[in-house]
Amino acid sequence: MAPRWTNDLTWADVTPKAAFMNRRQMIAGATALGVTGGPARAGLNAVESRYSTDADPNSFADLTSYNNFYEFGTGKGDPAEYAGQLTTDPWAVKIDGMVERPGSYGLEDILKGVTLEERIYRLRCVEAWSAVVPWVGFELRRLLDRVGVQPSAKYVAFETLLRPEEMPGQKYPVLDWPYREGLRLDEAMHPLTILATGLYDEPMPNQNGAPIRLVVPWKYGFKSIKSIVRITLTDSQPPTAWNMANPREYGFYSNVNPEVDHPRWSQATERRIGGGLFSARIPTQMFNGYGDQVAALYSGMDLAKFF
């Protein structure tokens, strides 16, 4: 990724959450009074959300330099190095299957009339590292309501872009490309489940899943599929990339659960990025701390069995 010159820096690069939020409030007040100064770099103008955590987000630099996005390589720095070549405009998402209004929807049509929210969510990777991310997006259920989900639909399947000429990791059989993921319909319709189009009130960086990605904060990070080009409503559980590659290690549900270890490491604790490889580990929370909102979705299920 090309270096960010000093005059290109934004508040996302250098400002902690409290100062960032205070600045947004001051700008809003100044705008209302008609006393803004010269032109400023335009943000997404996302509104704050009641679903945000109180935890301070990781820095923009942390979140854009340490990523899993195997379409660009298996190293944590590969996405930042190679994702700049990805073309994200124009972009369309095919929505098909058990919907009333199937079709190819341009990103601008998907966002038309949508109120973007800033959702500060915890993110927990299955590899036992974590982050706190100020996503910008909207609830997936808003889009599903617009296309009309048929009564027989039970699952939502997602696919990532397949374009090996711009996504060099797809030239290697690390996974069965394109990357695929899926949710049960009630999970997809839950208000915590969002489609994100931004980060730190700016358009989504390519290495983080531009231009539109899924975010499901109570599940391990690999469930939050990036660079979505297809959404399919179906009556059967869809195949998912990591479950197909290694079903023993990666289940369909993959809810964050500190009591069920990965076959190769413990899930009881996590390392938050930004503090180095030897930073102190913190306890992992059941459902990544969102249990009071989502535990009822799995009433009666054996959570160990349905990893």
- Residue 38 within a domain: no
Residue 107 is predicted with a pLDDT of 98
With respect to residue 216, please indicate whether it lies within any of the assigned structural domains. Answer: yes
DSSP one-letter string for 32-96: HHT---S-------PEE-TT--SSPPPPHHHHHHS---GGG-SSTTHHHHHGGG---SS-EEEEE
Handedness of CA 76, 162, 140, 301 (dihedral sign): negative
Asked, for residue 25, whether it belongs to a domain, the answer is: no
Low-confidence winner among 32-36, 65-69, 107-111, 247-251 (lowest mean pLDDT): 32-36
Decide if 23 is inside a domain: no
Minimum mean pLDDT range among 204-218, 249-263, 276-290: 276-290
Whole-structure pTM value:
0.88
For the stretch 134-186, pLDDT in tens is 999 999 999 999 999 999 999 999 999 999 999 999 999 999 999 999 999 99
pLDDT tier at 8 (50, 70, 90 boundaries)?
Answer: very low
Identify the H or E element spanning 156: strand 155-160
Mean pLDDT of 19-29: 44
* Model pLDDT, residue 155: 98
Q: Is residue 191 part of a domain?
A: yes
What average pLDDT is seen over the chain? 89
Give, for 23, the enclosing helix (H) or strand (E): helix 17-33
Q: What is the pLDDT of residue 303?
A: 86
Q: Choose the weakest-confidence range: 15-24, 197-206, 223-232.
A: 15-24
The answer as to whether 24 is a domain residue is no
d(CA 202, CA 99): 31
Could you tell me the CATH number of the domain that includes residue 64? 3.90.420.10
Question: pLDDT tens for residues 256-277?
Answer: 999 999 999 999 999 999 987 7
Average the pLDDT over each of 29-43, 113-127, 153-167, 217-231 and give the range with the smallest value. 29-43
Sheet-wide strand order for 155-160: 103-106, 92-97, 228-234, 155-160, 180-184
**Per the structure, how many domains does the chain have?**
1
- pLDDT: which is higher, 135 or 8: 135
Within a domain: residue 9?
A: no
**Is 7 part of a structural domain of the chain?**
no
Domain range for residue 51?
44-298
Type of residue at 149: V
Band of pLDDT at residue 90, cut at 50, 70 and 90: very high
